[in-house]
Chain A
Amino acid sequence: MFHRESGVFKTTYAADMALYPLPIAKWTMIALAVLFVLVIPLVVHEYYLSILNLIFIAIVGALGLNVLVGYTGQISIGHGAFMSVGAYTAANLAVRFDLPFWITLPAGGLMAALIGAVVGVPSLRIKGLYLAIATLAGQLIIEWTINHVPAISGGAQASIQVDRPSLFGFTFDTQGRLYFFLLFFAVLAIIATLNLVRSRIGRAFVAVRDQDIAAEIIGINIFHYKLLAFAISSFYAGVCGVLYTYYFGIANYEQFQLIVSIDYLAMIIIGGLGSVLGSIFGAVFVTLLPIAIRIFMEDVGSLFLSQGELANVISGLRLAVFGGLIIFFLIVEPEGLNRLWRNIRSYFRVWPFSY
């Protein structure tokens, strides 16, 4: 991640696809692991840990959406709804059957994967804008169903209280403890995605994205892989929804409305489509942005705005800045923050000699 090579000396495909191109990459990973597991939870204040926790959850969701949009080239405006499917599945299982998180979490993911694959079925016939509209319909229908079926949503407020996750009698109830819980799943999701995209499946996804008819001709079953992309992506989304549920201690459909789908799309566009590191950048950026806007507006805006107006302005401004950034990155840097990072790295690769 941080190392720089003096040139390209790879002679095999295996070397080209290796996760650690140089031994030093392994050392940086170990250093990062030490930083995140040992140093940060001890040094960092609880408030900042809670932000990190939100980032970890967002990373899981962004990775999933990027598998679908960035790697397979299908579009989904329904990821918020897939998250809610995962969240309500887990919440129902946890409350009604008293199941632990290591059952409810995969169950939520699988349920979301199932629903996601169903919503993805139209992708076999239609693509591009039609698919966008179909997934939008999926989002609205799922939202409506959860809101109107008390058996799923658990009553009038359409929200279910869930206990904090616990393992072997150890309850993850504070931000500091939830930190480890969420870090584990974020790292798991990152490693899984890194390996997914360099496997046969990942390469098939990229082939479908680049030219699906050509992919079909070289023997890739598009039917299979498009549905698989939807299922995998929704699985991530479902897990992300479950994590939100455990993090907030409540499953509520208002956390998973259309706007959330757009937030996640913003993450992967800003971060970089078709890149794992980009998903992480995007998740960090989009999670930190509203906080930065809030801090900025509370300092500057409170000079000429009342408290009530301020809340209104902050939420509106947040949305507008997201929209502006999506358009900005689409026009100026379609490959997102990941591209900027790569540019910086390749600049330093030959530094201080620019040629």
Chain B
Amino acid sequence: MTDIRVSAVGEPEASFGDYVALLKPRVMSLVVFTAAVGLLAAPVSLHPVEALAAILFVALGAGASGALNMWWDADIDAAMRRTRSRPVPAGRVAPGEAMAIGLALSGIAVVMLGLAANWFAAGFLAFTIFFYVVVYTMWLKRATPQNIVIGGAAGAFPPMVGWACATGGVAVEAVAMFLVIFMWTPPHFWALALFTKGDYAAAGVPMLNVTHGRRATRNHILGYTLALAPVAIGAAFTGIGGPLYLAVALVLNAVFVAGAVRVWRRSDADSEADGHLAERRFFRFSLSYLFLHFGAILAETALAPFGLGGW
């Protein structure tokens, strides 16, 4: 009884939802989608139960890295409005508990993926977790304004892991999917940073707009968007592409580059005047951009049995 009384007046107790929030379900949903596309687009097909299990364990690995990220970054999260109510900075889950959950789930995800699919994919998942937690979260996030670019690599691995689950290896198609997400991440996050400017500065994270100014951030957004276009369109000419993907990629990249040019041409005064309208629109469109590219890859795969997908 004593522990209940202490909890009731002392620290708030976590609900099941808090443990779910620890795994960053929104990031997991993106990982599930891109890993599923990677797995389904591969030329080798898995049994549906094996495929389902593989995707779930890749998602679990992503959730585990989310928990480890929240454990390590609790100080940053507490300083930012957007992340202040997360379970660890809000005090509902103890930091040590978040770390233990993250480590345990990482181990379970890797071992189970090895058993469900293959050990190459499991090793790849372990490397992805290591890259996100150690290389990005612990090392480069607080050290360089290019942190988003490095973090983008961690977010870009899931379709390659999905592909590896089916084939047991890596191919040019998997690398193409990786590059699309890798090049897409910087403009996506820097657009977000442009209209949440005060937060990163308060948390002491060296975001590009804090260290090099907002003009440099706008230049970088345009540069990465221009570099992304040939990569995304070029994927149409690999094994995962086809006429449908090419048409979708041409339209989306034209709109995305136009949005980046609009953001680039604006001054901070213009941006403040209309409440960062162009930056917000660019950020929202970036979500559809990625979803539709991977949707088009999936559509090419789905149409293939009818002789319509691919070249």
Q: Do A and B come from one complex?
A: no
